[in-house]
């Protein structure tokens, strides 16, 4: 009697497919994590210029008074 080997042949590839799938998932997430770190460290110049201009207008034209009280 002949034995059917279709399912056992597919099952033999299961560890390889699992490792390949986990590699793809890790690669996918690492792209997002690395790009988020890169964009946090190197903001766009237009956004950085707006923040610098806003901070100059707040601190340059207004006098800031600080009161410290002990309770």
Predicted local confidence at residue 34, as pLDDT: 93
Which tokens is 57 given?
């207008």
Q: Please report the DSSP string for 12-69 in residue order.
A: HTHHHHHHHHHHHHHHHHHHHHHHHHHHHHS--HHHHHHHHHHHHHHHHHS-------
Which range marks the domain in which residue 27 is found?
Answer: 6-61
Query: For the chain, what's the residue count?
Result: 71
CA distance 53 to 49: 6
Residue 66: inside a domain? no
- Per-residue pLDDT for the chain (71 aa), expressed as one digit of tens each? 666 655 567 778 889 999 999 999 999 999 999 999 998 888 777 766 766 666 665 555 555 566 666 66
Question: What is the pTM assigned to this prediction?
Answer: 0.47
Residue 52: inside a domain? yes
Predicted local confidence at residue 11, as pLDDT: 77
Predicted local confidence at residue 26, as pLDDT: 97
How many domains, in total, are found in the chain? 1
Predicted local confidence at residue 67, as pLDDT: 67
């Amino acid at each position: 009697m002949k034995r059917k080997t279709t399912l056992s042949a597919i099952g033999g590839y299961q560890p390889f497919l699992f490792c390949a799938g986990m590699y793809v998932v890790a690669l996918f997430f690492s792209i997002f994590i690395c790009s988020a770190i890169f964009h946090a460290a190197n903001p766009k110049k237009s956004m950085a210029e707006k923040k610098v201009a806003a901070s100059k207008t707040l601190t340059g034209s207004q006098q800031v008074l600080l009161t410290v009280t002990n309770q």
